[in-house]
Amino acid sequence: MKPTTVGVIGAGRIGRMHVQNLVHSVPEAFVKVVASRSIDASWADELGVPLAVRDFEVILGDPEIEAVAIALSSDLHVEAICRAARAGKHIFCEKPVAFSPGPIREALAAVQEAGVQLQVGFNRRFDPSLLKLQQAVRDGAVGELQGLRIINRDPQAPDIEFVQRSGGLFFDFTIHDFDTVRFLSGMEISEVHAIGTTLVDPEIGAAGDIDTAVIAIRLANGALGSIDNSRESGYGYDQRFEAFGAQGNLAVDNVRPTTLSSSLESGVFVDGPASPFVERYREAFIAELRAFVRSVRSGEPVAATGEDALAAIQAAQAATLSRRENRPVELAEIDQQVSVGVSS
């Protein structure tokens, strides 16, 4: 069966990873063109990608290309989505789609009008451990959900230039946690109270951002939750998730690169968490592209929609407002939420 022809827009760190994953691990896809301002043609060539261009119009204008993967800087996502949709391409787009609901809605409208698929890069939804946790919650393994807990800490703070362009901790980093709360619970967030501070790097504070946060959450069914964030753990990429219910607790622990333990006089040592995120979620990054290509080919709904992106951004907005005013903020206050349900 003929593979789906794909173009990749953006060839930074994430864009290049997507190209490699599509080439090596998604047999149903063929990457025909990579577009990037700073593309290295020989890199594409070695991967067997026939064409490397600077202008992604080449991709949009190619009638053979059915789908695009967008991994530009976040402020360019909406325009790229709109243009790709108008060109009739199915779209995979990295998160965050945008930093506010308005542009996301604009992108969603373009996608809807064009009748194309849009999948957002919430990679955690494709992690085997998180999928199993979500399935167990949905199957009622712990009864009615009463609580959710997420610990999400990056190994090392990003450089200050990245922080300045990132949209802030809640939009760039916690966004994954807001989506994970919705994904694992199958419910909307109804209220957030976010406290945050700068404990890692004073430059981050000087840039108007925070690097450490605790966010208390209420879900639609009354369950409570917390998210614990840090830009720098010092010991690796800490990714832990718990769902607590009337009949038990489900916990996803960190993945470790090896299962070696060393018993020495000073104690027993095991590996720290798999790091950085491209290692921890290696399988998930592949699985999300496979799922996208499968949806493109089958017409089946994607597992991480534009509406999911919208809901996560609204939670980030609520958290931002909550922290600024040091008060709980209901999501209803942010925006008239499109009640689309949580995709899964």
Write the binding mask 1 to 40 for a copy of itself: x where contact by CB under 8 A, - elsewhere.
x----------------------xx-x-------------
Query: Whole-angstrom Cα distance, residue 303 to residue 309?
Result: 12
Q: Is 205 in the site for a copy of itself (CB under 8 A)?
A: no
Which residues between 92 and 121 bind a copy of itself (CB under 8 A)?
none
Segment contacting a copy of itself (CB under 8 A): 102-110, 159-167, 311-319, 320-328? 320-328
Q: Is 146 in the site for a copy of itself (CB under 8 A)?
A: yes
Q: Is 202 in the site for a copy of itself (CB under 8 A)?
A: no
| Chain centroid, CA 236 distance in Å | 19
Contact assessment for residue 320 and residue 329, using Cβ atoms and an 8 Å cutoff? no
Write the binding mask 37 to 56 for a copy of itself: x where contact by CB under 8 A, - elsewhere.
---------xx---------
Which residues between 61 and 80 bind a copy of itself (CB under 8 A)?
none
Q: DSSP secondary structure string, 94-127? A: PSPS-SSHHHHHHHHHHHHHHT--EEE--GGGG-
CB of 160 to a copy of itself, least distance (A): 18
Cα-Cα end-to-end distance for the chain:
28
Segment contacting a copy of itself (CB under 8 A): 135-143, 175-183, 294-302, 336-344? 135-143
What is the token pair recorded at 134?
Answer: 């979500």
**Size of the residue set binding a copy of itself (CB under 8 A):** 80
CB of 225 to a copy of itself, least distance (A): 7
Contact assessment for residue 337 and residue 188, using Cβ atoms and an 8 Å cutoff? yes
Q: Burial code of 24-39, b = ≥16 C-beta within 10 A, e = fewer?
A: eebebbbbbbbbbeeb
Segment contacting a copy of itself (CB under 8 A): 91-99, 148-156, 291-299, 312-320? 148-156
Write the binding mask 219 to 238 for a copy of itself: x where contact by CB under 8 A, - elsewhere.
---xxxxx-x-x-xxxxx-x
Contact assessment for residue 124 and residue 176, using Cβ atoms and an 8 Å cutoff? yes
Which long-range contacts (C-beta less than 8 Å, at least 24 apart) are formed by 332-341?
Answer: 332/190, 334/101, 335/101, 337/188, 337/311, 338/307, 338/310, 339/188, 340/305, 340/307, 340/311
Pick one of 38, 115, 161, 268: the residue that binds a copy of itself (CB under 8 A): 268
Segment contacting a copy of itself (CB under 8 A): 100-108, 251-259, 287-295, 331-339? 251-259
CB of 60 to a copy of itself, least distance (A): 27
Q: Is 270 in the site for a copy of itself (CB under 8 A)?
A: yes
Closer CB to a copy of itself, residue 26 or residue 110?
Answer: 26
| Chain centroid, CA 270 distance in Å | 28
Q: What is the dihedral of CA 122, 124, 125, 131, to 10 degrees?
A: 180
Q: Is 129 in the site for a copy of itself (CB under 8 A)?
A: yes
CB of 88 to a copy of itself, least distance (A): 27
Q: If we measure between CA atoms, which residue out of 35, 26, 25 comes closest to residue 72?
A: 35
Closer CB to a copy of itself, residue 5 or residue 100?
Answer: 5
